[in-house]
């Protein structure tokens, strides 16, 4: 399986799905513990070894190895306001 492109609009916690060719059906991509992967766990244009598990109504793709380490989502944010300049102590 190759992660061809991650949409620019994807957030880091967006669930990862697999599509085959030009098909419209989306299949979840799970890790070895069967938890669905999120966009922060994969990289564009990277090969991932996976197996497919099918049923009569669908299927899932499961990674054989480890995904990229995910951030803790404790991301610093900015608000667009410049921080106040430190003041000089007066004697």
Question: Exposed, middle or buried, 2 (CB in 10 Å: 0-12/13-18/19+)?
Answer: exposed
For residue 17, tell me if it sits in a domain.
Answer: yes
Is residue 50 included in any domain, yes or no?
yes
Answer whether residue 51 shows pLDDT above 90: yes
Count: domains in the chain? 1
> pLDDT value at position 70?
59
The range of the structural domain enclosing residue 43 comes to 2-60
Q: What is the pLDDT of residue 13?
A: 84
What is the model's pLDDT at position 82? 79
Q: What's the pLDDT at 84? A: 79
Residue 89 counted as domain residue = no
Considering the domain boundaries, does residue 41 fall inside one? yes
Say if 83 falls within a structural domain.
no
Q: Is residue 10 part of a domain?
A: yes
Q: Report yes or no on 24 lying in a domain.
A: yes
């Amino acid at each position: 399986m190759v992660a061809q492109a991650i949409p620019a609009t994807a957030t880091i916690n967006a669930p990862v799905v697999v599509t085959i060719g030009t098909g419209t059906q989306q299949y979840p991509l799970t890790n070895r513990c069967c938890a669905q992967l999120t966009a922060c766990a994969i990289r564009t244009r990277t090969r991932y070894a996976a197996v497919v598990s099918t049923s009569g109504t669908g299927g899932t793709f499961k990674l054989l190895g480890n995904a990229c380490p995910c951030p803790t989502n404790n991301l610093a944010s900015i608000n667009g306001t410049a921080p106040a300049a430190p003041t000089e102590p007066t004697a």
